Amino acid sequence: MARPTARTESGLPLEPVYGPEDLTGWDPRTSLGRPGDYPFTRGIHPTMYTGRPWTMRQYAGFGTAAESNARYRALIAGGGTGLSVAFDLPTQMGHDSDAPLAHGEVGKVGVAVDSVEDMRVLLAGIPLDRVSTSMTINAPAALLLLMYQLVAEEQGISGAQLTGTVQNDVLKEYIARGTYIFPPGPSLRLTADTFRYCREQIPRWNTISVSGYHMAEAGASPVQEIAFTLADAIAYVRTALAAGMAVDEFAPRLSFFFVARTTLLEEVAKFRAARRIWARVMREEFGARDPKSLMLRFHTQTAGVQLTAQQPELNLVRVGVQALAAVLGGTQSLHTNSFDEAIALPTEKAARLALRTQQVLAYETDVPLTVDPFAGSYAVERMTDEVEAAALALMRRIEDMGGAVAAIEAGFQKEEIEASAYRIAREQESGERIVVGVNRFALEREEPYEPLRVDPAIEARQCAALARLRAERDAGAVSAALAALRAAAAGTRENVLPPMKEALRARATVGEVCGVLREVWGGYEPSRSAH
């Protein structure tokens, strides 16, 4: 009886053996090119990690700014080379900690930042001119970036010295996460304003990290992940062009954020295909000429959705495989999840182990010593071609619908991701897809594990701090600054970031600034077709 054809996570056929006959019209002497050469299939740098390792950027943030600051300083002391800030849900949604909607969520999934006062505490003792910082924030991304700049200026550090990334990818919020505030139109305006502001004020900052990670966590396949992410990126490029910017003025600062799963070979193929697609889109559709505009630079996070609460120590193995996939795929920076994240916030020991996983890959293996070691592999080259073709087919469907925003409003991406998630769940339930420790090799009784818990009293302390802030600040200055922001948002020509910065400097809160923008732009309510 013939063995049934295996399938990748994207549903593509995975053959037991590949050979030269699987690469029709493919010549290893001419088809591959060299690392650092267009279309960057083999990586965006000629030397990749042989010159220096990827940035080890551990994602962290919980409770108060002071608690998170202590974790950041410990990670830096332990050899981390970049920060990645997680914000709590109220901050992500543009609410202050004392807002009724914030109750019960303050400090839970990230750090609570209500004003520049919190940002000052969060960054205390961190050399902002030497540490690259990524901030996972979307709808209110401009606010948090401006607070970061204000604190840097207080330290005597200019915007020109700052390096890092702000996620600022609101389109995927409508698709997969739901932490949107404003409708797509004003949200895209805010994105374009951030591009313009950073070009002039913070030129080394990556102004957006177009994210497939959260779509993958919602169930998107590798093909869907890169297709929907690149379609969103195309929408951002078009928005910036429509705002009067030239493509080579902003495209070099675009970056991306992907997941790395345990399916190592398909993940490597996915990263290679994504680089190739983006390079061609930027050159052929948008006429970019700066080589940096053509390079898909990306951060990777290992797959939280694949971590299990059962036998959590197995997650150490999963994270190691996922991290290896990211490195073999050519990532520029990497976050490795802690093994206990499926249970609760990571303990300090678990966070340190996650960082050590990267350090073992970087300093104990031979993987960083040669560039793109899978180049020419019959299996990986064939899979790269197949992932690319399938992703391009999905991107064409989105274009036929009128682009990413129109497809989002029609619910297309959301429905496709839900179908993929359902398929994977069915395969796990049937045992066709094995999850070690869950549907195979399970224990009768799990060993006890004591997770890190956030002190519920944090919410009361944040609320008290907000009350003090409002009592001590210059209320007239805040009102005047918010009025200037309201006028800028109501118009169409003025960049809203400069008046926003002045409002934050006057110690307006996140909720107050977002509240003014809600008054002018309205909030977003998804249509029934998007469910």
Whether 422 and 472 map to the same domain: the answer is no
How far does CA 365 lie from the centroid of its chain? 27
What is the rounded CA–CA span in Å between residue 211 and residue 233? 9
Whether 302 and 357 map to the same domain: the answer is yes
Last residue of a domain, one of 410, 430, 450: 430
DSSP string of 279-300, one letter each residue: HHIIIIIT---SHHHH---EEE
Whether 298 and 159 map to the same domain: the answer is yes
Residues in a beta bridge with 90:
none
Whether 485 and 356 map to the same domain: the answer is no
pTM for the model stands at: 0.92
What is the rounded CA–CA span in Å between residue 414 and residue 397? 14
**At how many degrees (to 10) do helices 141-154 and 497-505 cross?**
60
Residues in a beta bridge with 452:
345
Whether 375 and 317 map to the same domain: the answer is yes
Helix (DSSP H) and strand (DSSP E) numbers for the chain: 20, 11
Q: Is residue 32 part of a domain?
A: no
CATH of the domain at 163: 3.20.20.240
**What pLDDT does 531 receive?**
39
Whether 494 and 373 map to the same domain: the answer is no
CB 509 within 8 A of CB 469: yes
Q: Is residue 377 part of a domain?
A: yes
Helix (H, G, I), strand (E, B) or coil at 369: helix
Last residue of a domain, one of 406, 430, 454: 430
**At how many degrees (to 10) do helices 65-77 and 348-364 cross?**
30
Whether 117 and 239 map to the same domain: the answer is yes
Closest CA to 88 of 60, 72, 104, 107: 107
pLDDT per residue as tens, the chain (531 positions): 455 678 999 999 999 999 998 987 777 777 788 999 999 999 999 999 999 999 998 787 888 899 999 989 988 888 887 888 999 999 999 999 999 999 999 998 899 999 999 999 999 999 999 999 999 999 999 999 999 999 999 999 999 999 999 999 999 999 998 999 999 999 999 999 999 999 999 999 999 999 999 999 999 999 999 999 999 999 999 999 999 999 999 999 999 999 999 999 999 999 999 999 999 999 999 999 999 999 999 999 999 999 999 999 999 999 999 999 999 999 999 999 999 999 987 888 998 999 999 999 999 999 999 999 999 999 999 999 999 999 999 999 999 999 999 999 999 999 999 999 999 999 999 999 999 999 999 998 888 877 777 788 999 999 999 999 999 999 999 999 999 999 999 998 899 999 999 999 999 999 999 999 999 999 988 765 443
Per the structure, the complete domain to which residue 337 belongs is given by: 50-430
Last residue of a domain, one of 430, 452, 483: 430
Consecutive H or E run containing 277:
helix 264-280
Q: Is residue 482 part of a domain?
A: yes
Q: Is residue 357 part of a domain?
A: yes
**What pLDDT does 301 receive?**
96
Closest CA to 124 of 202, 64, 66, 205: 66
Whether 397 and 487 map to the same domain: the answer is no
Whether 69 and 139 map to the same domain: the answer is yes
Helix (H, G, I), strand (E, B) or coil at 147: helix
Q: Is residue 513 part of a domain?
A: yes
**What pLDDT does 4 receive?**
62
What is the rounded CA–CA span in Å between residue 231 and residue 153? 36
Q: How many domains does the chain have?
A: 2
Whether 298 and 415 map to the same domain: the answer is yes
Q: Is residue 348 part of a domain?
A: yes
Whether 316 and 398 map to the same domain: the answer is yes
**What pLDDT does 274 receive?**
98
Q: Is residue 210 part of a domain?
A: yes
**What pLDDT does 62 receive?**
84
Whether 365 and 511 map to the same domain: the answer is no
Q: Is residue 13 part of a domain?
A: no
